[in-house]
Structure 1
């Protein structure tokens, strides 16, 4: 079920965040993710976060800052089961319009967001990682 995150979910959210980044972004030095772990943890506390809770265990989350989707992550064991899509559709009902950033080399994520109606508005190099990144919006501009 989808619900708002609670303080006691934070450790599990961060576990999913780190696992997801290390797996999906093997083109980024792993030290980058471990180096910004505490900063992200502090930011998540300030964000609006919805989680997918299955049998009292968080298996996915989406973090929002106003209309910006700061991240959507699904635990490795639960990927490919439609949970990410359910979370994203829930977010789209809560906030409109939406923007996000995604690494261009993360083809699976780019395709996921395109399937859910997002369009790319710009592409640039992320100054922190040196990797190409896209800004995507929903609904896309015509």
Structure 2
């Protein structure tokens, strides 16, 4: 039993190290993108979506990273930016609903297309489902938490 616990511990430590190898460079790249104004350009593109979902403009970065990279690696950015910008629990929940349904859009769309699915339909359904679910949460569920 102790051997199993030790093996599990080493496996968890290895996984944590692998995540750090991905998340730290990602955060450094994001800082460079901020410095050179790329994040602002992405922000202008996603601005109407943020307004529709009643999310702060600062949510653009974690949403973009989640859309493009996915939940596993995007979570580090979501947590970091959420703490840095002081997102409310409701805003974080909306971000996680949005990204949870439509994470890793490029990677997963390519995988689905590779097994014969129509990439445009897959992409459209995932993005629209995420937006509709987030709007539903914004209009109906989060209102009860604000009272």
Q: TM-score, normalised by structure 2?
A: 0.30
Structure number with larger C-alpha Rg: 2
Q: TM-score, normalised by structure 1?
A: 0.30
Larger helix proportion of the pair = 2
